[in-house]
Structure formats: C-alpha cells, structure tokens
Amino acid sequence: MKTLNRFYIDGKWVEPSPGATLFDIVDPATENVTGKLSMGTTEDADRAVAAARAAFAGWSATSREARIALLERIAEIYQRRMPEIAQAVREEIGAPVTLCNALQAPIGLAQLRAAIDTLRDYPFETESGKSYVRREAIGVAALITPWNWPLNQIAAKVAPALAAGCTVVLKPSEIAPLDAMIFAEIMHEAGTPAGVFNMVFGDGRIVGARLSSHPEVDMVSITGSTRAGVEVAISAAPTVKRVAQELGGKSALLILDDADLQTAVTSGIAQCMANSGQTCIAPTRMLVPRERYDEAVAIAAATANAVAVGDPADPATRMGPISNRMQYEKVQLMIEAGIAEGARVAAGGLGRPEGLTRGFYARPTVFADVHNDMKIAREEIFGPVLTMIPYDSEEDAIRIANDSIYGLAGYIASGDPQRARKVAARLRVGSVRVNGAMLDVTVPFGGYKTSGNGREYGTEGLEEFLECKSVTM
C-alpha cells in the first residue's frame, strides 16, 4: 500500500496543511485500493504560490544557457528513470505496458528535448527600426494537468514555462499521482532552484480554484474537460490573468473517396481505441463515402473485435481498462444513449469484454447508422467508442466535420496530398493529421471553439509563458 503524503514546495518535501483529506489510489485493472494520496487545501496552494513568487525574480533573470543546462539535467535523469515512470502510469491509469514503454513515458522526454531545442534558438529580443521588442517571462504559472497522458502534459507545460523564465506550481491529477511524484523527484535531483518548481495535489474545486483565482498567479495553463476549462477561466477573470486551455474534442476522420479504405479504417480504429479511447484528439467520428459505407463498417467492426483487451501488465494486451470508475460509468451511459438513439452496434456494446469480471474494462465499440445530431456524435465520450457517419460528397464531409462545438483536431485519409492540403485548410480545427501521421511535438497544438485557447509545443508553446514589451529609443 503506497502512501503519498508529501508535497514539493520551495525545494523541500513538506507535509500537507491541517485539513488535508485522503484520496484512494485505485488500480483500474483490479478495482483494488493500492494507496492513499493526501489532497491539499487552499493553504497548501498559497504556500506553493508564495514560494514561486519569491523565486521568480532570480529565475527570470537567469541566462538562456543556465535554463538549458537545468532542462538538460532534468532530461538526463528523466531518461534514466523511464522504466519506473512507465510502470507508474500502467499501475495508476491501466495503460498497457507496451504503450507505457513505447509512448506514455517517452513522450515526456520528447517534450523536454523539444523545449530545449526551442529555447536554444529563440529570439527574446528583436529589432524594429528605432525600437526593439523584448519577450519576458510572464511570472508565476499555475499548471493543471490531466490523467490520460500524464507525463506528456506535465512536461509540455513545465519545460516551456521554465524555459521562458517562469516559476511554476503544478497541480497534477489525483488519478495519476505516482508518475507526478517521480517527476517532482527528478526536478529535485536535477537541482532545480528552490521555489522554481512546486507541486501540490488537490481537488480542482479547491486547489485548482485557489490557483486560478490567486492574485499572485500570473497565468494558468490547464488541460482537461471543457467544463473544467470554463470554471478556471471564470475563476481567473477577476485578476485578469492569462488562461491557456487545451480542452475537449470530438475529432473527425474524413476518409476521402481516393483513400485505401482498408488502411484508412484500420488506422482510424487503432487511433480511436489507443489508450482505451482516453485521448482528447482521438478520431471518434469516422466519415465515409456513402457508396463504401457498408464495406467500411464491416472493416471497422472486424478490427475493433480483434483488439486484445486485458491485463495491462500483459505484453499481448493492446487495450487496458478505463482509468477510473467514474469515467467507466460515463462511457457505459453514452453507449446506452447511442443504443436508445437508434444507432446500430456493429461491434462491442455495453459491459465488460467476455472473460473479464473485474476492472473498469470497456468493450471496443463501433456504432453504425449514426447521424451527426445524435448525442454520441456530438459529446465527448472519452472511451473506446467510434461513431461512423456516411457522407455524399467532399463538401458534405467537410460540413459534417465542422458541425461540432469542438475544434481540437481533424484527420484525413487520401491518396492525393494536394487534395488533403485543400481539405485540411477548410477544417475548423487546431491540428490536422493526414494518412495516420503521428503527433509532432515541435509544432503548435491546441484547439478552436470550445476546445480551448492558446497553444502548446514549439515556439508558440514557449510564447504562452512570455509577455511582450516594446522599447522605443
């Protein structure tokens, strides 16, 4: 039984303030309680912010070279501890061991290295005639991260914030605390100056609300649901602080009529079901030419039925459990809603896969005969559920894809790169991937509409943590 009862504040491991509560750490593969986590109070948030504020003047004045040196030490230690990180992610959210080793742990290292590369060449001052423009650290940054890709989101916020010269207070998800503790240990071992990095666990409605409303916090960067993003923005408004939000999605995969159907559908299923469907940019709406719709549904159903669901510690497993009970129950309710709306279950459906009697396991589910006005086509499910929608023309496909309150990502399958570029230009989303392309952490990532404001990754991700000052001589 693990006990996580320390926060990292001002370069030291400290006990929570009086009034801290305990939260069960649950193994989603077995539903067993495997540990206890102390949940902080507003007083803990205040202590962390005070430490970050006191450290800001010194850290923001450091050289580019000093920041690069620290980030390189962090990356070196992170790489050494990746096996532990992968195991922690598997235990806390149930991601398969193969996914943890290949992506969940390494992507944090990729974010650290990308931030180093961006910082190395970034022009903090640019000339403009008799004037020049300086870009300076915005101040104390509160970073609120989710549980689904925990290390990616922690590193994607912490690394550029430190690179910019900001000091930070990290509030990781209480559902994924094990990897966050390792990350804080890495920051300590790397010699991060006291107060530059601070970490407090806590509920979003207590610690998160205090951080977002705190007058000594200059910006908040949150990755989470659209609901959580709205709450943070409202809480932050009275202090007029910057809020960067990476929120929900309901991304569409447009399979154009010149695509290889077998490849496009199987790739789409793999991307949708990866990480048990708990990915904000997952292509959960598959748009297929009407004349090939029945064929596409058959391919999708066969592919989903072949997904190996089971113990995340088993190397043969390709999909583990949903990360927590609340999310599992939401997924089941959404599958019920799809059935009630008249969608046809082509694969999967309600309940656990055959042979699994414990754990938050959901069945890889494919809905056919879906209309874009159905609940399952409009709301983010955050589980292994795909909706398949036929379209009559390229124009119709683009219209359906854009008919969403979300605008995080889009996917295109096409045999013609120039055609794909033209379609990509018309999608109202923050990023587009063509023909199964992988995530690129060197280019900006973020959403349109209710999928958020601001960008992460690359130059744009660094600039979220910078203020712009013009000086005229």
Q: Where are the domains of the chain?
A: 2-247+451-472, 251-440
Report the alpha-carbon distance of residue 288 to residue 397 in Å, rounded.
Answer: 8
Q: What CATH class does 251-440 carry?
A: alpha beta
386, 284 Cβ separation under 8 angstroms: yes
Amino acid identity for residue 178 in this structure:
L
Consecutive H or E run containing 26: strand 21-27
Whole-number pLDDT of residue 284 = 98
Q: Give CA angle at 191 (187, 195), nearest 5°.
A: 70
Helix (H/G/I), strand (E/B), else coil: 319: strand
Predicted TM-score (pTM) of this structure: 0.97
Going by C-alpha positions, the residue among 7, 312, 8 that lies closest to residue 188 is 8
198, 170 Cβ separation under 8 angstroms: yes
Active site residues: 246, 280
Whole-number pLDDT of residue 1 = 85
Q: CATH number of the domain at 2-247+451-472, out of 3.30.1130.10, 3.40.605.10, 2.60.40.420, 2.30.30.100?
A: 3.40.605.10
Question: What are the residues whose beta carbons fall under 8 Å from the beta carbon of 312, sequence distance 6 or more?
Answer: 29, 90, 94, 95, 96, 97, 100, 320, 321
356, 322 Cβ separation under 8 angstroms: no
Neighbours of 392 (CB within 10 A): 11
Amino acid identity for residue 353 in this structure:
P
346, 388 Cβ separation under 8 angstroms: yes
pLDDT band at 34 (very low <50, low <70, confident <90, very high): very high
Q: Is the pLDDT of residue 221 over 90?
A: yes
pLDDT tens by residue, 284-325? 999 999 999 999 999 999 999 999 999 999 999 999 999 999
Whole-number pLDDT of residue 134 = 97
pLDDT tens by residue, 334-382? 999 999 999 999 999 999 999 999 999 999 999 999 999 999 999 999 9
pLDDT tens by residue, 390-414? 999 999 999 999 999 999 999 999 9
* DSSP state, residue 44: H
Tokens of 437: 């392309």
Report the alpha-carbon distance of residue 101 to residue 120 in Å, rounded.
Answer: 28
